[in-house]
């Protein structure tokens, strides 16, 4: 069966499909979290967290629940290290599990762009209802009295944009003491919990969702103008546009969720990736159909 479309329509279709198929795509990975909860006991090594943070990101560390069989005093030390390469110091986590890390973390990290503070003589016993507050007195002193409550548990603040490593070391005066802590760590920057590397991606997905909406409106307008000449392939192109709009909307929702709560929803990411795979498969299939000629393929 011969193709009834005007010859000028084929280049237009090819251009539209190539634009949909080859639109700028971000290198996607699991977004960086902004909130962690973790259990720590007397056999645990230092806690290590990595994140790309904005300047003036506030790092809060607190003990949510605790169990000490007998009274013991804690010394909690935190180290913040800025580094220029994303994959720098990859061995830290393994060394922490094997208890091979040196006590002076900044010395191990070459003492460049590294800050260490500590809280000492923190009492823990069964009579306490709440664990003593952990905060950096230097950072707390910067804020005025009306803002003191909001500065509780702030232990560090970044001084520049970039990659950071945050290490928490919990020690006791008695090496044989038995204890268990459930700790919470949050990193909130000027834009929320989202990391500096994920913030542009959130903006990208928001813009691309708007672009796909405009694509849809434009395609529906063209379809209405040439409704007498519409073939089945035009409906599949509309499906690609709809899937692209849905894909960007779901990714934007995931990044917005991380920015608001600090936590990632794995199901949302999997759903977005599935939509993306279906959209790309369909778009490339349509490019092949248009390149070969709709009449031949049919």
**pLDDT tens-digit readout, 190-210:** 999 999 999 999 999 999 999
Residue 102 is predicted with a pLDDT of 67
Give the pLDDT band (50/70/90) at residue 6: very low
Lowest mean pLDDT, pick from 26-30, 130-134, 233-237? 26-30
How far is residue 20 from each of residues 29, 89, 159, 223, measured CA to CA in Å?
Answer: 22, 40, 41, 17
Check pLDDT > 70 for residue 20.
no
**Rama region for 99: left / alpha / beta (φ>0; ψ in -120 to 50; rest):** left
Grouping H, G, I as helix, E, B as strand and the rest as coil, residue 175 is: coil
Q: What share of the chain is helix, strand, coil (3-state, %, to 5)?
A: 40, 25, 35
Grouping H, G, I as helix, E, B as strand and the rest as coil, residue 132 is: coil
Residue 130 is predicted with a pLDDT of 78
| Structure tokens belonging to residue 274 | 């599935």
- Quick one: average pLDDT of 54-59? 92
How far is residue 204 from each of residues 28, 55, 163, 243, 248, measured CA to CA in Å?
Answer: 12, 21, 21, 17, 9
Residue 186 is predicted with a pLDDT of 93
Specify the CATH number for 35-188; select among 2.40.10, 2.60.120, 1.10.3470, 1.10.287: 2.60.120
- Quick one: average pLDDT of 137-162? 67
148-160 burial: b if 16+ Cβ within 10 Å, else e: eeebebbbbbbee
Burial classification of residue 206, based on how many CB atoms lie within 10 Å of its CB (0-12 exposed, 13-18 middle, 19 or more buried): middle
Contact 125, 143 (CB under 8 A): no
Residue 27 is predicted with a pLDDT of 42
Q: Give percent of the chain with pLDDT exceeding 70.
A: 82
Q: Are strands 35-41 and 72-83 parallel, antiparallel or unpaired?
A: unpaired
């Amino acid at each position: 069966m011969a193709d009834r479309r005007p010859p000028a329509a084929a280049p237009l279709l090819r251009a539209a499909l190539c634009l949909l198929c080859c639109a700028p795509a971000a290198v996607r990975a699991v977004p960086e979290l902004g909130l962690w909860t973790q259990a720590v006991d007397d056999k645990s090594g230092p806690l290590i967290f990595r994140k790309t943070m904005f300047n003036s990101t506030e790092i809060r560390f607190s003990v949510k629940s605790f169990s000490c069989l007998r009274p013991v005093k804690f010394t909690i030390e935190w180290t913040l290290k800025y580094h220029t390469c994303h994959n720098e110091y990859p061995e830290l986590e393994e060394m922490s599990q094997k208890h091979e890390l040196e006590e002076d973390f900044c010395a191990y990290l070459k003492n460049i762009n590294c800050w260490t503070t500590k809280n000492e003589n923190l009492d823990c016993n069964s009579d306490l209802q709440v664990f003593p507050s952990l905060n950096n007195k230097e950072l707390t002193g910067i804020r005025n009295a009306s803002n003191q409550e909001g500065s509780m548990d702030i232990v560090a603040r970044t001084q520049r944009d970039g990659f950071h490593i945050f290490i928490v070391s919990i020690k006791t005066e008695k090496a044989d003491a038995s204890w268990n802590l459930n700790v919470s760590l949050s990193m909130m920057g000027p834009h929320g919990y989202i990391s500096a590397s994920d913030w542009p991606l959130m903006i990208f997905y928001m813009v691309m969702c708007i672009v796909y909406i405009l694509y849809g409106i434009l395609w529906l307008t063209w379809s209405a103008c040439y409704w007498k000449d519409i073939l089945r392939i035009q409906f599949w192109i509309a499906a690609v546009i709809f899937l692209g709009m849905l894909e960007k909307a779901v990714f934007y929702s995931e990044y917005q969720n991380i920015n608001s709560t600090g936590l990632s929803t794995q199901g949302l990411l999997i759903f977005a990736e599935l939509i993306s795979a279906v959209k790309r498969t369909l778009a490339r299939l349509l490019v092949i159909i248009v390149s070969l000629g709709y009449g031949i393929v049919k």
